[in-house]
């Protein structure tokens, strides 16, 4: 009968036991991590063990903190390596395969001292042999101290023990590695003590956890709102949280992942000392000159006690229960909120005064708030035809209100739902929960006038500050028989300012205007925005008409007006000269065409009998044209000099003028 190596090691326990520390405190954050604190007594000689999921190890290794409250100290912290199994097992002097026979292992240990049925010797070999009837038998051969070789069937062996303690430990370590690898999702951290005595340990760390969520119920009353907050907590840790101290933190601390668990390897170069290499002969050149660098009890929050189901209610009772249920829906829950809130730096913590129990792989709704806060009902409009029913909440609870969904009950009925961002103490927020179909809003946008407010000149560059107005008219119709307060959110243009009616407040994206609506009435709101735009142009590129419009501006001072008048005069003179030059060039073009025509006529009539008089007349016209051309070219040259002089004077004027 062939026996596997597993049967060899079931004779005794190979792994030492380790003490586990129960979870005492849990603090959940909004950034995907949770703080866990464990504490307990570790007996003398024991090692504290903490089990984690493999994906939690990176956060554990960068946040683990250990305290010995009994006066001792920690000598070291060990944890299961993430090295591949093949790499771990490859370091041992033997290998064990699945269903491997014992003889195969023993054959790998040739030369090791062994005791077989109280016979001691060195392993000379081990193999599987076939008997006469074809059966297979495992056999070991040992070299005894007297030099004799002795073979024995392993099937008949009742006692087999390795003598070498180092080899025994290696086999234990090998099998321990195989055992730990079977639970690939679990990794253990072991905490060793520096002295051999009973001690009280407290261990804390951060691991990835589901983000806790806030859910609110809001019951609107006259000028007040009862706000009821529930925290939704998920326990996915793989173990029960039994009567733990629970705290929930609102805020957004920075958290990230860093590869701490997986071993890192680098490629290293192969380097040898020079003396390990043969020496080559050296050839020297001749001298030619110079010098050659971590189970709840009944009644605890989160637990559901086992109880027999109640008898079915009567019809009268059902009717009464239904009416009571409807009333209960629109009134605050009968809950006992036992939390304390406190600022922790830039964060806010809700700490529960009574222990909480949540079983593993379960979630719980835990009440953390039931208070009245200041509230004002109104309408808010951002876009579309109808505004929304809304509530302006001012946080007067003394606590930070964590962001989450809100179910609103208004006038003893379900009103709608809203979503709220986190609100710090003393701050306020607007939330909308339904569409108000009794109010309609239209808006019309028009561009207003443009006015030059300021003109500046420097080195020929004219900068004008132009004011542009935009008017948006909101027309509001309240069809209901009750008065309302409306907030209109007008889109924010950061470069504009409001002229006339000012907003009640401004957000990052809108200006808010408050409008009081009378019953069955219409109202109008005009929002006038003024934007100042700076326009820069080279004066040389501006037309005279543009310059004259600047001179007429009421916002131009006398120095600027005088300077711009000088510029306008020069540009006008240059413009007039340019027109004269254009006229001369046009005349020269026409004369050149006439001269060419006359020359062609003379050429065609020459040597034609009886055309002498025509040729002479054309010749006189040609001569007169040349005189006219000469005179025009003289005038053109004079004008060009005048233009150059005027342009030079304008350039000097622009260079020296500033206002």
**pLDDT tens across 166-203, in order?**
888 888 887 777 766 665 567 888 887 766 678 888 99
pLDDT above 80 (res 98) = no
CB 280, CB 343: distance < 8 Å? no
pLDDT above 70 (res 304) = no
| pLDDT value of position 275 | 55
- Confidence band (pLDDT; 50, 70, 90) for 527? very high
236-256 confidence digits (pLDDT tens): 988 899 999 999 998 888 887
Residue with tokens 């023993």: 106
362-414 confidence digits (pLDDT tens): 999 999 998 888 889 999 999 899 999 999 988 888 889 998 999 999 877 89
DSSP 2: -
pLDDT above 80 (res 22) = yes
CA distance 64 to 52: 12
CB 449, CB 470: distance < 8 Å? no
CA distance 141 to 307: 69
- Residue 203, beta-bridge partner list: 38, 66
Would the pTM of this model clear 0.75, i.e. be above it? no
Q: Judge residue 29's burial from the number of C-beta atoms within 10 Å of its C-beta, 0-12 exposed, 13-18 middle, 19 or more buried.
A: buried
CA distance 618 to 236: 114
The fraction of the chain above a pLDDT of 70, given in percent, is: 79
321-366 confidence digits (pLDDT tens): 445 544 555 567 766 666 777 888 778 888 998 999 999 999 999 9
| pLDDT value of position 521 | 94
- Confidence band (pLDDT; 50, 70, 90) for 309? very low
CA distance 582 to 579: 5
CB 562, CB 551: distance < 8 Å? no
Spatial neighbors of 240 by CB under 8 A, at least 6 apart, are: 295, 296, 357, 358, 359, 360
CB 446, CB 429: distance < 8 Å? no
429-449 confidence digits (pLDDT tens): 898 999 999 999 999 988 766
- Confidence band (pLDDT; 50, 70, 90) for 74? confident
pLDDT above 70 (res 83) = no
Alpha carbon 608 to its chain's center: 99
| pLDDT value of position 305 | 35
CA distance 1 to 157: 12
Helix axes 558-605, 544-551, angle to 10 degrees: 160
- Confidence band (pLDDT; 50, 70, 90) for 235? very high
DSSP 296: P
Residue with tokens 């600047």: 550
Residue 251: both structure tokens together:
């805020």
146-174 confidence digits (pLDDT tens): 888 888 888 888 888 888 888 888 888 87
Phi/psi of residue 552, each to 5°? -80, -5
- Confidence band (pLDDT; 50, 70, 90) for 299? very low
Residue with tokens 């951002």: 382
Residue 26: both structure tokens together:
């849990």
Residue 294: both structure tokens together:
């971590």
Burial 605-635 (b: 16+ CB within 10 A, else e): eeeeeeeeeebeebeebbeeeeeebeebeee
Alpha carbon 44 to its chain's center: 48
Q: What is the mean pLDDT of residues 508-536?
A: 89
DSSP string, 509-561: SEEEEEEEE-TTEEEEEEEEEEEEEEEEEEGGGS-HHHHHHHHT-TT--HHHH
| pLDDT value of position 630 | 87
Residue with tokens 């493999």: 54
pLDDT above 70 (res 297) = no
CA distance 261 to 625: 102
- Confidence band (pLDDT; 50, 70, 90) for 9? very low
DSSP string, 562-613: HHHHHHHHHHHHHHHHHHHHHHHHHHHHHHHHHHHHHHHHHHHHTT-TT-HH
| pLDDT value of position 552 | 67
CA atoms within 13 A on the CB side of 110: 7
CA distance 178 to 502: 76
Taking all residues of the chain, what is their mean pLDDT, rounded to a whole number? 79
| pLDDT value of position 279 | 47
| pLDDT value of position 222 | 74
Instruction: Using DSSP bridges, classify how beta strands 136-144 and 149-153 pair: parallel, antiparallel or unpaired.
Output: antiparallel
Helix axes 612-656, 558-605, angle to 10 degrees: 160
| pLDDT value of position 333 | 72
Q: What is the mean pLDDT of residues 503-520?
A: 91
CA distance 463 to 454: 8
DSSP 4: B
- Confidence band (pLDDT; 50, 70, 90) for 576? confident
Lowest mean pLDDT among 233-237, 470-474, 599-603: 599-603
Q: Closest by alpha carbon to 123, among 87, 157, 99?
A: 157
Burial 209-228 (b: 16+ CB within 10 A, else e): beebbbebbbbbeeeebbbb
Q: Closest by alpha carbon to 50, among 16, 81, 19?
A: 19
| pLDDT value of position 294 | 40
CA atoms within 13 A on the CB side of 657: 21
**What angle is formed at CA 535 by the lines to CA 534 and CA 538, rounded to 5 degrees?**
140
| pLDDT value of position 285 | 41
| pLDDT value of position 260 | 75
Residue 100: both structure tokens together:
């491997």
Q: Closest by alpha carbon to 72, among 216, 248, 214, 199?
A: 199
Pick from 124-138, 519-533, 539-553, 642-656 the range whose average pLDDT is largest.
519-533
């Amino acid at each position: 009968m062939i026996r596997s190596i597993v049967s060899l090691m079931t004779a005794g326990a190979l792994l030492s036991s380790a003490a586990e520390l129960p979870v005492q405190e849990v603090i959940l954050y909004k950034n995907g991590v949770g703080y866990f604190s464990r504490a307990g007594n570790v007996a003398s000689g024991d090692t504290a063990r903490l089990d984690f999921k493999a994906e939690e190890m990176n956060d554990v290794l960068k946040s683990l903190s250990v305290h010995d409250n009994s006066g001792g100290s920690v000598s070291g912290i060990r944890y299961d390596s993430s090295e591949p199994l093949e790499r771990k097992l490859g370091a041992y002097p033997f290998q064990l395969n699945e269903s491997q026979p014992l003889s195969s292992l023993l054959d790998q240990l040739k030369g090791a001292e062994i005791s077989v049925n109280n016979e001691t010797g060195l392993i000379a070999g081990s193999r599987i042999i076939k008997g006469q009837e074809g059966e297979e038998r495992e056999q070991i051969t040992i070299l005894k101290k007297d030099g004799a070789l002795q073979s024995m069937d392993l099937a008949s062996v009742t006692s087999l023990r390795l003598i070498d303690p180092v080899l025994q430990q290696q086999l234990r370590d090998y099998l321990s590695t195989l055992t730990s690898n079977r639970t690939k999702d679990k990794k253990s951290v072991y905490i060793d003590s520096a002295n051999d005595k009973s001690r009280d340990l407290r261990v804390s760390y951060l691991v990835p956890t589901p983000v806790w969520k806030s859910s609110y119920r809001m019951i609107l009353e006259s000028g007040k709102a009862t706000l009821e907050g529930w925290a939704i907590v998920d326990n996915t840790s793989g173990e029960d949280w039994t009567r733990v101290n629970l705290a929930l933190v609102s805020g957004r601390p920075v958290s990230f992942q860093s590869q701490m668990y997986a071993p890192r390897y680098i490629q290293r170069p192969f380097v040898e000392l020079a003396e390990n290499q043969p020496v080559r002969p050296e050839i020297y050149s001749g001298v030619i000159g110079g010098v050659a660098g971590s189970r709840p009890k009944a009644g605890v929050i989160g637990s559901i006690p086992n109880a027999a189901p109640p008898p079915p209610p009567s019809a009268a009772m059902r009717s009464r229960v239904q009416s009571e249920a409807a009333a209960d829906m629109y009134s605050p829950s009968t809950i006992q909120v036992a939390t304390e809130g406190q600022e922790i730096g830039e964060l806010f913590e809700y700490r529960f005064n009574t222990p909480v129990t949540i079983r593993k792989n379960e979630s719980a709704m835990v009440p953390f708030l039931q208070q009245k806060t200041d509230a004002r009902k109104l309408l808010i409009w951002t876009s579309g035809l109808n505004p929304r029913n809304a509530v302006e909440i001012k946080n007067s609870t003394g606590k930070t209100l964590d962001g989450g969904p809100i179910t609103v009950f208004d006038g003893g009925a379900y009103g709608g739902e809203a979503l709220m961002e986190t609100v710090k103490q003393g701050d306020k927020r607007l939330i909308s929960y339904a569409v108000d179909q009794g109010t309609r809003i239209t808006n019309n946008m028009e561009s207003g006038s443009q006015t030059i407010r300021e003109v500046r000149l420097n080195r020929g560059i004219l900068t004008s500050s132009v004011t542009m107005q935009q008017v948006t008219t909101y027309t509001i119709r309240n069809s209901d028989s009750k008065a309302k307060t409306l907030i209109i959110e007008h889109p924010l243009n950061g470069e504009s300012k409001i002229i006339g009616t000012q907003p009640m407040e401004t957000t990052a994206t809108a200006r808010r205007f408050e409008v009081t609506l009378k019953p069955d009435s219409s109202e109008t709101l005009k929002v006038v925005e003024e934007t100042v735009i700076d326009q820069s142009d080279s004066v040389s590129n501006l037309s005279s008409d543009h310059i004259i419009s600047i001179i007429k501006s009421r916002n131009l001072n006398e120095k600027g007006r005088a300077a711009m008048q000088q510029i306008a005069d020069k540009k006008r003179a240059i413009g007039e000269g340019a027109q004269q030059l254009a006229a001369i060039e046009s005349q020269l073009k026409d004369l050149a065409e006439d001269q060419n025509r006359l020359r062609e006529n003379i050429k065609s009539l020459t040597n034609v009998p009886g055309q002498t008089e025509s040729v002479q007349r054309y010749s006189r016209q040609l001569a007169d044209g040349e005189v006219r051309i000469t005179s025009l070219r003289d005038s053109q040259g004079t004008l060009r000099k005048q233009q150059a002089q005027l342009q030079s004077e304008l350039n000097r004027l622009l260079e020296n003028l500033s206002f």
